[in-house]
Amino acid sequence: MCGIVGLFLKDKALEPQLGALLSDMLITMTDRGPDSAGIAIYGPSEAGSGKITVQSADPAMDFKGLKVVLTKKLGVPVSVTVRATHAVIAVESGKLDAARTALKELRPGITVMGCGESVEIYKEVGLPKDVAARFKIGAMAGTHGIGHTRMATESAVTTFGAHPFSTGPDQCLVHNGSLSNHNNLRRELVRNGLRFETENDTEVAAAYLSHKLATGSNLGAALESGLSDLDGFYTFVVGTKSGFGVLRDPIACKPSVMAETDGYVAFGSEYRALVNLPGIDAARVWEPEPATVYFWEH
């Protein structure tokens, strides 16, 4: 069944509240998927600086001394901010790929959740309220974010099966539904150089959009092309560094609602996810149309 939410802020005054607002939206969707939960936050970025969000099943071992060994390996300053089982590694943007390679060698138990200039991704098995509290999501600021609470259908209940999925810099996706052609698409994308960490169909959708974005499409065009290339039933909410997009399949059997004010655009699987947002009583509220791309950019 799954529950998905998204919030794109147009009013900078709301940015300090992003984590708190998004967490509340996702917690409201808990009964749609109690298996695992995750949130992506697009926060402040610095010119020339990148970051990698990583996860470890043994953070006490894997994160100990990580700053020192990575700095030595890369030859540039590195910072490591630990948040429970996750850590955010900050390094100059030109060293992101080298840092990912070094992590595989130095800490093979670490898994990359996402990387880029602004995105941080936190996800674990458990209820949204517990995941949000563990990573202190409510205290995070940012411009936009997406979240997901999962009822597993296509793969095991694990951290790595949780959403959001990220397969490109500052890109991530959450999904309610099921793709029927994900195995064929995965093989095609692998031939185009994409890498996969799981058997989850949502990772294939994320990689498909990453491939389209990498080959010249903007977010709107990438979502539009998905209507002809992705088979199944789905509602996607997608984040990029500057953008936020929504797409439902042509049948649109999964519930969805959106709201827009001068301050934000919000998405929820159900209206109750939106009821605590500021100014919601005056918002334009609608059900997104089937096979119609919606996207906003800063």
Q: Which residues are catalytic?
A: 2
User: Bridge-partner residues for 265, per DSSP?
Assistant: 8, 260
Q: Which residues contact 68 (CB under 8 A, 6 or more apart)?
A: none
Beta carbons of 240 and 246 less than 8 angstroms apart: no
**Residue 112, Cβ density class (10 Å: 0-12 exposed, 13-18 middle, ≥19 buried):** middle
Distance from C-alpha of 63 to C-alpha of 107, rounded to nearest angstrom: 9
| HSE-up (13 A, CA, CB side) for residue 24 | 15
- CB burial of 69-90 (b: ≥16 within 10 Å; e: otherwise) equals bbeebbeeebebebbebbbbbb
Nearest CA among 29, 36, 86 for reference residue 63: 86
Q: What is the CA radius of gyration of the chain?
A: 18
